[in-house]
Structure 1
Amino acid sequence: MAADYTRGEMNIASQKSTFDGFIVGTVWISLLMIVTLLYLTLVFAVGMDWMGSLIGVAIVGVVLGLVTSMKTSWYVTVGGLFVFGLLCGLLSQLFSVFLAG
């Protein structure tokens, strides 16, 4: 049994693809956490305007995507998060105007 083994002849394609997928998922989650925490920190801890911090965080997200060589789906996600944040901010301001009278 042990005599049949030859070093370097095992097919490791499935292990390699699993590991590559794990690394890509880890990078995605890490970058999403960085972008989210940066936005929340700028708005709530620093007291920066929500629109300025949203634009700044979108720029940081694009730069992080360029640095880590992310695919197009990363930039679509950053754009989607920007639009989502924009809509939530505008709705929040609209409701605060109506509540304030």
Structure 2
Amino acid sequence: MAADYTRGEMNITSQKNTFDGFMSITLWSSLLLTVTLLYLTLVFAVGMDWMGSLIGVAIVGIVLGLVTSMKTSWYVTIGGLFVFGLLCGLLSQLFAVFLAG
């Protein structure tokens, strides 16, 4: 059994694909968490305007994608989060106007 082993002859494609997938998920998760925490910090802790911080965080997300060589799906995700944040911010301002009377 052990004598049949020859170093470097084992097929490791499935292990390599698993590791590459794990690293991809880790990178995506950490970058999304970074972008989210940056936005929340700018809006709530620093007191920056929500629109300015949303634009700034979108730019940071694009730069992070370029630095880490992310694929097109990253930029689509950042764009989707930007539109989602824009809609939520506009809806909250609309409700604030109605509540203020």
* TM-score between both structures, scaled by the size of structure 1: 0.99
Quote the offset at 1:2 in angstroms.
1.2
Q: Deviations over 1:78-97 (max 9, x none)?
A: 00000000000000000000
Quote the offset at 1:34 in angstroms.
0.3
Matched, 1:80 2:80: yes
Equivalent residue letter for 1:39: Y
Identity of aligned residues (%): 88
> 2: distance between equivalents of 1:50 and 1:4?
65
Equivalent residue letter for 2:26: T
Please report the RMSD computed on the Cα atoms of aligned residues, expressed in angstroms.
0.3
Number of the residue aligned with 1:47: 47
> 2: distance between equivalents of 1:79 and 1:58?
8
State the 4+ residue runs in structure 1 displaced beyond 4 angstroms. none
Task: Give the secondary-structure state (helix, strand or coil) at the position aligned to 2:63.
Answer: helix
Q: Deviations over 1:2-42 (max 9, x none)?
A: 11110000000000000000000000000000000000000
> 1: distance between equivalents of 2:53 and 2:88?
14
Number of the residue aligned with 1:64: 64
> 1: distance between equivalents of 2:90 and 2:4?
68
Matched, 1:89 2:89: yes
Number of the residue aligned with 1:19: 19
> 2: distance between equivalents of 1:25 and 1:79?
19
> 2: distance between equivalents of 1:89 and 1:29?
24
Matched, 1:5 2:5: yes
> 1: distance between equivalents of 2:32 and 2:70?
12
